[in-house]
A and B are shown apart, each in its own frame.
Chain A
């Protein structure tokens, strides 16, 4: 199985901050990497697929980059609605696997 390791597991930030979350795969997954946002009590929401393709309707302050083993999700200009937990997911091979999550909290 492909193990996905996210860091940090949590972070505190202020509105307007630039936030970067990293995700590392145990082996190369090329660009088969998605990012999801999950608000408390809600289903996850797909933000980015294929490592860097922003989903329709997702604000442009979200961006993704990386390939191979190392990936990043960046939020440029954190807004109040962005405080949530973020998960990376590899789609290179089944079983599909997720990172452990990064909780973005208000400082």
Chain B
């Protein structure tokens, strides 16, 4: 069945970087893009950006310069790296299936979420 399986929880120190993975299965990875959405504890949803299967990206302006999204089509895996972490980056990070050509935003399948805690 169609699944997006994400990497496990991470604990990072302020200023560090984190990389979260999202492995897709059950559908042709090259036919869709992936968006990343995060949710701080007790807060709402924040779109972080989108990547197509071939590597085109569209990042949220407030994260541009700190975030990098990549894909590995050989394994059907998407990655999100966030640098210069601060305490306000503590959140659950989700990947979600999105459009191939652009960030369509209709997220029909989601990963289970990856908790990232930033603490000294």
Interface residues of A (CB under 8 A from B): 1, 32, 34, 36, 43-46, 49, 55, 87, 89-91, 94-101
B110 near A89 with CB under 8 A, answer no
A90: which B residues are within 8 A, CB to CB? Answer: 105
Q: Is B33's CB within 8 Å of the partner chain A?
A: no
**Which of B12-20, B24-32, B41-49, B68-76 lies at the interface with chain A?**
B41-49
**A44, A49, A87, A101 — which one has the most chain B CB atoms within 10 A of its CB?**
A44
Which A-chain residue is minimally distant from B94 (CB atoms)? A43
8 contacts between A and B (CB under 8 A): A43-B94, A43-B111, A44-B107, A91-B104, A94-B60, A96-B103, A97-B47, A98-B47
B45 near A98 with CB under 8 A, answer yes
Nearest-Cβ distance from residue A106 to partner chain B, whole angstroms:
19
Q: Is B35's CB within 8 Å of the partner chain A?
A: yes
A89: which B residues are within 8 A, CB to CB? Answer: 45, 105
Interface residues of B (CB under 8 A from A): 35, 37, 44-47, 50, 58, 60-62, 94, 96, 103-108, 110-113
B104: which A residues are within 8 A, CB to CB? Answer: 91
A91 near B105 with CB under 8 A, answer yes
Cα A99 to Cα B104 with chains together (Å):
17
Cα A98 to Cα B110 with chains together (Å):
16
A91 near B106 with CB under 8 A, answer yes
B62: which A residues are within 8 A, CB to CB? Answer: 95
B58: which A residues are within 8 A, CB to CB? Answer: 94
Cα A4 to Cα B90 with chains together (Å):
23
A94 near B103 with CB under 8 A, answer yes
Cα A43 to Cα B103 with chains together (Å):
19
A94: which B residues are within 8 A, CB to CB? Answer: 47, 50, 58, 60, 103, 105
Nearest-Cβ distance from residue A33 to partner chain B, whole angstroms:
10
Nearest-Cβ distance from residue B32 to partner chain A, whole angstroms:
14
A95 near B61 with CB under 8 A, answer yes
A96: which B residues are within 8 A, CB to CB? Answer: 35, 47, 103, 105
